[in-house]
């Protein structure tokens, strides 16, 4: 799928298409916007447009059929690096789940690799997922190469919060914004994944424009039917970290449902505001290691009459 076909991000695709049409690619870009709206997918598709051997630099994207296009789609092109928790875990011989930050050593390793330039004589592209988790010292490592980039190298930093990137890095990158996805598009994505129609409609409204969040809620069996608050924890997983993750999602659901009710006029803002504040407080308590079952009960008690 060429990047120009990525649903819900037509404006961003048009902007990227102009870089290709002009043949002027910035050495570093930040793709920023909410989680689960297609930033990494777009980054990979943009890389494919650069690496495609049949229609290189086509403003609509790679041909999708040549060898380089096929290997880019599999993230296996020799001139493409995708830096995510898996990449760092392999480098450090650690568990992927333990990679909470983007380590400065990972960036050093990547920089040396990028300095070698393209193996096939075309472009070399690094896509850094969750770039906003970069360690502070990573900024100077990146700056050195962004400021004097080897020819035909591109860095794409993918970040859900561009404010979390060091300002020095941000100011030297071309910022490419991504919007939340419209509910209708998310609904279609869910239907294609086999989610039942009513559930797809509900989730597409609840998920705040994030397709990955909608899928996450679906997998967790949310939104849950309204239960007695004291029965709500019954379906929680026994492992604490899984229970915590599910309660975090449940809080998100309760909060979003309330916001939708406010928007549709079903609940007055003055009545809802203190409940929203309580949910926020419960979320902070949960993250500070409070018991997930208790938090879930308290959250249901807060919202049961609204
Ligand atoms: Zn191609």
pLDDT in tens, 124-159: 999 999 999 999 898 999 998 888 899 999 999 999
Query: How far does residue 76's CA lie from ligand 1's centre (Å)?
Result: 14
Q: How far is the CA of 67 from the centre of ligand 1 (A)?
A: 7
pLDDT at 1 over 70: no
- Distance between Cα 111 and ligand 1 center (Å): 26
Bridge partner residues of 127 (DSSP): 82, 156
Q: Are the C-beta atoms of 226 and 277 separated by less than 8 Å? A: no
Extents of the domains making up the chain: 3-177, 182-219, 220-306
Ligand 1 centroid to residue 120 C-alpha, Å: 14
Per-chain mean pLDDT for the chain: 93
Sign of CA pseudo-dihedral 73, 77, 83, 86: positive
pLDDT of residue 216: 93
Residue 49 Cα to ligand 1 middle (Å): 7
> Cα(190) to centroid of ligand 1, in Å?
29
Residue 74 has pLDDT above 90, yes or no: yes
Distance (Å) from CA 94 to ligand 1 centroid: 35
In Å, what is the CA distance from 150 to each residue of 42, 131, 170, 253? 23, 21, 19, 46
- 252 Cα to the center of ligand 1, angstroms: 41
DSSP 8-state assignment for residue 150 = P
CA–CA separation, 135 and 131 (whole Å): 9
For the chain, state the CA radius of gyration. 22
Taking only the tens place, the pLDDT of each residue in 257-284 is: 999 999 999 999 999 999 999 999 999 9
Distance in Å, CA 198 to ligand 1 centroid:
39
Beta strands across the sheet bearing 174-177: 80-83, 124-128, 153-159, 28-32, 174-177
- Terminal alpha carbon distance of the chain: 44
Q: How large a percentage of the chain has pLDDT more than 90? A: 83
Give 13 Cα–ligand 1 centroid separation in angstroms: 18
CA of 31 relative to ligand 1 center, distance in Å: 23
Q: How far apart are CA 178 and CA 22, in angstroms?
A: 22
* pLDDT average, residue stretch 193-207: 94
How far apart CA 159 and CA 163 sit, in angstroms, is: 9
Q: For residues 23-36, b (16+ Cβ closer than 10 Å) or e, as one string?
A: eebbbbbbbbbbbb
Say how many Å lie between the CA of residue 66 and the centre of ligand 1. Answer: 4
Quick: pLDDT tens for 46-68: 999 999 999 988 988 899 999 99
Distance 2 CA to ligand 1 centre (A): 10
Q: What does the alpha-carbon distance between residue 35 and residue 217 come to, in Å, rounded to a whole number?
A: 14
User: What's this model's pTM, rounded to 2 decimal places?
Assistant: 0.87
Cα of 62 vs centre of ligand 1, distance in Å, is 5
Q: Does domain 3-177 have CATH number 3.40.47.10?
A: no
**Is residue 296 within 8 Å of residue 243, measured between CB atoms?**
no
How far, in Å, from the CA of 20 to the mean position of ligand 1? Answer: 14
Which residues make Cβ contacts (< 8 Å) with residue 232, sequence separation at least 6? 224, 250, 296, 297, 300
Residue 181's contacts (CB-CB under 8 Å, 6 or more residues apart) are: 7, 8, 9, 36, 37, 38, 209, 210, 211
In the reported structure, the alpha carbon of residue 87 is separated from the centroid of ligand 1 by a whole-number distance in angstroms of: 25
Please tell me the distance between residue 298's alpha carbon and the centre of ligand 1 in angstroms: 54
What separation in Å is there between the alpha carbon of 50 and the centre of ligand 1? 9
Is the pLDDT at 286 greater than 70, yes or no?
Answer: yes
Evaluate the omega torsion of the peptide bond into residue 223 and state whether it is cis, within 30 degrees of 0.
Answer: yes
Instruction: Return the percentage of the chain with pLDDT > 70, whole number.
Output: 98
Question: Beta strands of the chain (E only): which ranges?
Answer: 28-32, 80-83, 124-128, 153-159, 174-177
Q: What is the pLDDT of residue 56?
A: 86
């Amino acid at each position: 799928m060429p990047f120009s076909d990525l649903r819900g991000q037509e404006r961003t695709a048009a902007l990227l298409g102009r870089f290709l049409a002009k043949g002027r690619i910035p050495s570093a870009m930040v793709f920023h916007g909410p989680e689960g709206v297609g930033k990494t997918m777009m980054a990979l598709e943009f890389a494919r447009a650069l690496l495609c051997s049949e229609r290189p630099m086509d403003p609509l994207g790679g041909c999708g059929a040549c060898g380089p296009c096929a290997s880019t789609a599999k993230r296996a092109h020799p001139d493409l690096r995708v830096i995510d928790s898996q990449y760092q875990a392999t480098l450090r011989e650690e568990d992927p789940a333990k990679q909470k930050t983007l380590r400065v050593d990972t960036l050093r390793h990547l920089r040396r690799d990028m300095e070698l330039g393209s193996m096939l004589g075309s472009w070399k592209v690094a896509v850094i997922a969750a770039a906003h988790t970069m360690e502070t010292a990573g900024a100077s490592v990146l700056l050195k190469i962004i400021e004097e980039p080897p020819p035909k190298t591109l860095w794409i930093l993918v970040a859900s919060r561009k404010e979390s990137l060091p300002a020095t890095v941000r100011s030297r990158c071309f910022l490419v914004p991504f919007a939340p996805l419209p509910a209708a598009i998310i609904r279609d994505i869910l239907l294609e994944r086999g989610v039942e129609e009513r559930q797809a409609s509900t989730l597409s409204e609840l998920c705040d424009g994030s397709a990955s969040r909608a899928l996450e809620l679906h997998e967790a069996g949310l939104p849950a039917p309204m239960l007695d608050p004291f029965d709500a924890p019954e379906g929680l997983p026994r492992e604490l970290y899984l229970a915590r993750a599910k309660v975090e999602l449940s809080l998100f659901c309760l909060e979003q449902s309330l916001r939708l009710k406010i928007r549709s006029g079903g609940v007055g803002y003055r009545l809802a505001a203190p409940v929203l504040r309580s949910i926020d407080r419960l979320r902070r308590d949960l993250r500070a290691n409070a018991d997930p079952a208790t938090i879930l009960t308290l959250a249901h008690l807060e919202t049961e009459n609204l």
